[in-house]
Amino acid sequence: MPHAHNPQADSGRTAAQPTAHPTAQPTAHPVGQAGGHSSPRYSGLTTFARLPRIEDVPGHDVAVVGAPFDAGVTYRPGARFGPAAIREASRLLRPYNPRLDVLPFRDRQVVDAGDLPCNPFDIATACKEIEEGAYELIRDGAPLVTLGGDHTIAYPLLRAMHRVHGPVALVHFDAHLDTWDTHWDAPLTHGTPFRRAAEEGLFLPGSSAHVGIRGSLPDPQDLIDDAELGFTIVHCADLETLTVQDVVARLRERIGDAPLYVSVDIDVLDPAHAPATGTPEAGGMTSRELLGIIRGFKGLNLIGADVVEVSPAYDHADITSIAAANLAYELVSLCAPARRFSS
Ligand SMILES: N=C(N)NCCCC(=O)O
Ligand SMILES: [Zn+2]
Ligand SMILES: [Zn+2]
């Protein structure tokens, strides 16, 4: 599908009417990754998975974009460097995803769209910039995977998704609820994006879930307030008895055939699997569990996703960035069609 602005695509669009082009044809001959045999994977300029930049191809079916913003954090800063670190850690991603049996870059034109503009001093301005930048990438219906950035960015991203698809099923992987009303009286922080989104009806509460919630809370009222927003919660402790398949079944039943948005706060992983994050909590998920649950969304209508809260200065041996890059790869892979012929 063309990336160029299409004025007709906007006409008659309202929030309640999904407007993604159901008939849009995928790019005929996608440009894939820079070849691992013609140039070693550790060489060359960095794009996500060594994919072409958006300006290097005529159009895109799926975009990966960075949102280097971290003015909304409450504890350790540094997620503004997340997109660069995740891209660097994505060099080893290969063309074939065997668990999903797809070649995500062969049948869809996947591009690296660079970084969205994000004002580093004014959160409201940054949110507007992120929303507009994301909207330009998705206006013709292309799925978007955003590399954060702190979790504040999920709010403008959901606003952009809503403009194209209407309310979405939201699956939110996180140690934290991120549904506070305000933090230090600030309405736009990484602890508040899903409260703002709920107020604006950006997601379908009955189709949405928090997964991986754990850790100490400022107040017991947090859980009561969150419950009023309509989410179901798969607590991290539930994984002591539920298998990955059980969780997938529960989430799929809830999502149904609604357009799906997946928001992954990397702190849903145990600090052993993701040390480089702003508000780490002990007792988290393994990367294998999280990758398994996300793969379980195969066949659903994924219209967007984010992987946020990677703060690379706290990393060791790129553990966190590698986990984030692989999660983004699975999310992009969910946008690929079933394999039609062997490679
Ligand atoms: N990591 C995210 N998104 N939120 C954490 C907020 C929890 C706190 O600062 O107490
Ligand atoms: Zn979190
Ligand atoms: Zn979060």
285-310: per-residue pLDDT in tens?
Answer: 999 999 999 999 999 999 999 999 99
Please report the atom of ligand 1 found closest to the CA of residue 193: 3
Instruction: Calculate how far, in angstroms, residue 142's C-alpha sits from the geometric centre of ligand 2.
Output: 27
First to last CA, the chain: 23
> Which residue ranges of the chain lie beneath pLDDT 70?
1-23, 340-343
CA of 273 to the centre of ligand 2 (A): 14
- What is the H or E stretch that residue 225 is in? helix 221-228
Find out whether the beta carbon of 190 lies less than 6 Å from any atom of ligand 1.
Answer: yes
Neighbours of ion ligand 2 (CB under 5 A): 174-176, 265, 267
Helix (H) or strand (E) holding 316: none
Residue closest to 301 by CA, chosen among 246, 247, 252: 252
- Taking the C-alpha atoms of residue 144 and residue 48, their distance in angstroms, rounded to an integer, is 13
* Residue closest by Cα to atom 7 of ligand 1: 191
Whether 50 is in the pocket of ligand 1, judged by its Cβ within 6 Å, is no
Reading phi first (left if > 0) and then psi (alpha if -120 to 50, else beta), residue 306 is in beta
CA distance 100 to 299: 10
Which 8-state DSSP code applies to residue 2?
B
Asked if this assembly's ipTM is beyond 0.90, the reply is yes
Compute the distance from residue 341 Cα to the ligand 3 centre, in Å.
40
Helix (H, G, I), strand (E, B) or coil at 112: strand
Our answer on whether the CB atom of 207 is closer than 6 Å to any ligand 1 atom is no
Ligand 1 atom with minimal separation from the 279 CA: 1
Q: Which residue's CA is the nearest one to ligand 1's atom 6?
A: 191
Q: Cα of 94 to ligand 2 centre, how many Å? A: 29
> How far is Cα 115 from Cα 148, in angstroms, rounded to an integer?
10
Residue type, 205: P
Neighbours of ion ligand 3 (CB under 5 A): 151, 174, 176, 178, 265
Question: Per-residue pLDDT tens for 95-133?
Answer: 999 999 999 999 999 999 999 999 999 999 999 999 999
For residue 258, what are its two tokens? Answer: 């609604």
Which residue, judged by its Cα, is nearest atom 4 of ligand 1?
191
Measure the CA–CA gap between 62 and 175, rounded to whole angstroms: 28
- By CB atoms closer than 10 A (0-12, 13-18, 19+), residue 245 is exposed
Judge if the beta carbon of residue 306 lies within 6 A of ligand 1: no
Q: Is 279 in the pocket of ligand 1 (CB under 6 A)?
A: yes
- The answer to whether the beta carbons of residues 297 and 62 sit under 8 Å apart is no
Q: Is 176 in the pocket of ligand 1 (CB under 6 A)?
A: yes
Q: Are 69 and 80 contacting, i.e. CB atoms less than 8 angstroms apart?
A: yes
DSSP characters over 153-165: GHHHHHHHHHHHH
Tokens 């041996």 appear where?
Answer: 317
- Give distance in angstroms: CA of 272 to centre of ligand 1: 18
Atom of ligand 1 nearest to the CA of 74: 9
Q: Is the CB of 178 inside a 6 Å radius of any atom of ligand 1? A: yes
Q: Which of 44, 104, 100 is nearest to 292 (CA)?
A: 100
Q: What is the pLDDT of residue 342?
A: 52
Beta bridge partners of 305: 145, 262
Q: Whose CA is nearest to atom 5 of ligand 1?
A: 191
User: In this structure, which residue's CA is closest to atom 8 in ligand 1?
Assistant: 74
Query: Hey, CA dihedral for 28, 303, 211, 133, is it positive or negative?
Result: positive
In DSSP terms, 198 is beta-bridged to none
Which pLDDT belongs to residue 38? 83
Q: What is the pLDDT of residue 35?
A: 82
Does residue 191's CB lie within 6 angstroms of at least one atom of ligand 1?
yes
- Of 279, 309, 310, the residue with max ligand 1 atoms within 8 A of its CB, to mutate for a pocket test, comes to 279
